[in-house]
Structure 1
Amino acid sequence: MNEQIKKALLQAGDDSNIKTAKHAVGGSINESCFAETDNQKYFIKFHAEAPDRFFELEARELELIRETNSIAVPEVFTYTDESNSAFIVMEWVNGAPAADTDRKLGDRIAAMHQTFGKKHGFDDDTFIGALPQTNGLFSSWLEYYRDQRLAAQLKMGIDKGRMTGKRRGRMETLLEDLGKWIPDDAAPSYLHGDLWGGNWLAGPGGEPYVIDPSFLYGDRHFELAFTEVFGGYSSDFYRAYQERFPLSPDYDDIKPLYQLYYLLVHLNMFGEAYGRSVDTILKRYAG
């Protein structure tokens, strides 16, 4: 591992003495390390079997969020998707939440959502975790969300044997009727795309940072709905978000349909532990 770290830091332009190198907490997909040289502290992720362009896309998505001038992201120094030795080198972000961190986070996410693309989706295929997402750019949010997100997970679930019987039938019915609830003309906000509670952290001075995006342009309510699936966000976060960018009055009606996508992802990645949650939403809208 030390040789891998040395190679990564050399590519990042730092050939100074490595003072510390050790494993760090950083999710289950990659092998994560903390390294400190005479010059700087780094966070390095390695992936021996990374999909094509895995870290290239992460670097690009972080830069798109940075360009909104809304919320902080770690600086990326270098990356490679070279077979058997893919890695990305970023700045080490270390801090502790302050009294106003949650409010800042809500306000900064709302500000990011007030930056808009021209169409929905993305011009690159991406990943959520290690699961591939086929994208494309669409004038219609409904069309993108139905075909590229929900229908794609349905197909994957059929292939994995996790979308069968009544579950499959209800899912197919829902896709036919989705326009009853999902807007066709939502504004294409810049979205992080994988904003669960583990994908933000407090940096120096309690300033919030977001990490590990799965970027797209789309309805901001899709992003907010996911923040409520696994928790990790306080009432201060939602209050600050609402103050800057109030949610649509019908948010509670469409929220489960947006949460459905992420639950389907988890069903396809991890199995039947998420089946009951998927079935509950399908019964509500297509039962």
Structure 2
Amino acid sequence: MNTVIETALREAGDDTKPATVKKSHGGSINESYFVETGQQKYFIKYHPNAPERFFELEAKGLERIKQTNSISVPDVMAYSDDKGSAYLVLEWVEGSKTAQTESMLGDRIARMHQAVGEQHGFSDDTFIGVLPQPNGLFNSWVEYYRDRRLAAQLKQGINQKSITGKRRDRLEKLINDLDKWIPIDAAPSYLHGDLWGGNWLVGAGGIPYVIDPSFLYGDRHFELAFTELFGGYSADFYQAYKERFPLMPDYEDVKPLYQLYYLLVHLNIFGEMYGGAVDSVLKQYVGK
């Protein structure tokens, strides 16, 4: 592992010897390390069996978010997707939350969502966790969400037998009728794409940062719905967001449909513990 870290540091332009290398919290997918040299502190992620372009796409997502001049992201110092030694080198971000941090987070996510692209989706296929996430660019948000998000998870679930029987019938019916519920005129906002409560952290001065994106352009309410699915965001976050960028009136009606995608992802990664939640949403829209 030390060899990989030394290679990563050289690629980041740091030839000084690491003074500190410690395992760091960084999720269940990668090995993560805090590394300090005579030059700088780093966060290094390592994945010996990373899928093709895994860290390249994460770096691209961070750069797209950075382009909006809205919410802070760690600087990308270097990355490699070489088999057996894939890594991503980021600046180390560390700080303490202040009374304003979560309001700043809500306001800055809203500002990110006010930046828009020309089409929905993304030019590159990406990952959600380690599940492949097919993309492409679409003029229609409904078409993108139907074909590249819900239908892709349906196919995944059929292949691994997590979506069968009534669950499959209901999901196919919902996908076919999706334009009954999903807004057709949604703007293609810049979206983080995986904005659960573990994918933001606090830097110096209480400034919020976002990490680990799975970037796309799409309806901002899709992102907000996910923030509500597993918690991690305060009332201050939502109040500040809405002050900057009010929600559409029928957000509550469409929210479960947007949460369905992430529930399907969790069903296909973690198994039947998420099956009941998937079935509940399907019954809400297409009945028994």
Query: Which bracket does the TM-score occupy, shorter chain normalised?
Result: over 0.9
The answer to whether the 8 A contact 1:20-1:37 is kept is yes
* RMSD, aligned CA: 0.6
Supply the distance in 2 between the matched residues of 1:3 and 1:33 (Cα, whole angstroms). 13
Supply the distance in 1 between the matched residues of 2:17 and 2:99 (Cα, whole angstroms). 37
After superposition, give the CA deviation of every residue in 1:109-153 in whole Å (9 maximum; x if it has no partner): 000000000000000000011111110000000000001000110
Residue 143 of structure 1 aligns with which residue? 143
One-letter amino acid of the counterpart of residue 152, structure 1: A
Residue 154 of structure 2 aligns with which residue? 154
Q: In the TM superposition, what is the alpha-carbon distance from 1:3 to its structure 2 partner?
A: 2.1
Q: In the TM superposition, what is the alpha-carbon distance from 1:17 to its structure 2 partner?
A: 2.7
Q: In the TM superposition, what is the alpha-carbon distance from 1:229 to its structure 2 partner?
A: 0.6
Supply the distance in 1 between the matched residues of 2:209 and 2:235 (Cα, whole angstroms). 18
After superposition, give the CA deviation of every residue in 1:218-277 in whole Å (9 maximum; x if it has no partner): 000000000001000000000000000000010000000000000000000010000000
TM-score if structure 2 supplies the norm length?
0.99
Residue 26 of structure 2 aligns with which residue? 26
Residue 104 of structure 1 aligns with which residue? 104
Residue 57 of structure 2 aligns with which residue? 57
Q: In the TM superposition, what is the alpha-carbon distance from 1:176 to its structure 2 partner?
A: 1.4
The answer to whether the 8 A contact 1:201-1:210 is kept is yes
Supply the distance in 1 between the matched residues of 2:94 and 2:19 (Cα, whole angstroms). 17
Please list, as runs of the form range in 1=range in 2, the aligned pairs for 1:104-183 lying within 5 A after superposition: 104-183=104-183
Residue 41 of structure 1 aligns with which residue? 41
Supply the distance in 2 between the matched residues of 1:102 and 1:22 (Cα, whole angstroms). 29
**Are residues 1:85 and 2:82 paired?**
no
Q: In the TM superposition, what is the alpha-carbon distance from 1:4 to its structure 2 partner?
A: 1.9
The answer to whether the 8 A contact 1:121-1:138 is kept is yes
Residue 244 of structure 2 aligns with which residue? 244
Residue 276 of structure 2 aligns with which residue? 276
One-letter amino acid of the counterpart of residue 129, structure 1: G
SS in 1 for 2:229: coil
The answer to whether the 8 A contact 1:143-1:184 is kept is no
Supply the distance in 2 between the matched residues of 1:217 and 1:172 (Cα, whole angstroms). 24
After superposition, give the CA deviation of every residue in 1:143-177 in whole Å (9 maximum; x if it has no partner): 00001000110011011101111101100110111
Residue 191 of structure 1 aligns with which residue? 191
The answer to whether the 8 A contact 1:112-1:190 is kept is yes
Residue 217 of structure 1 aligns with which residue? 217
**Are residues 1:201 and 2:194 paired?**
no
Supply the distance in 1 between the matched residues of 2:258 and 2:153 (Cα, whole angstroms). 13
Q: In the TM superposition, what is the alpha-carbon distance from 1:5 to its structure 2 partner?
A: 1.2
Supply the distance in 2 between the matched residues of 1:246 and 1:164 (Cα, whole angstroms). 39
What are structure 1's unaligned runs of at least 5 residues?
none
SS in 2 for 1:247: coil
Residue 3 of structure 1 aligns with which residue? 3
One-letter amino acid of the counterpart of residue 191, structure 2: L
Supply the distance in 2 between the matched residues of 1:75 and 1:129 (Cα, whole angstroms). 21
Runs of 4+ in 1 over 3 A off after TM superposition: none
TM-score if structure 1 supplies the norm length?
0.99
Residue 261 of structure 1 aligns with which residue? 261
The more displaced of 169-178 and 111-120 is: 169-178
Percent of residue pairs bearing the same amino acid type: 69
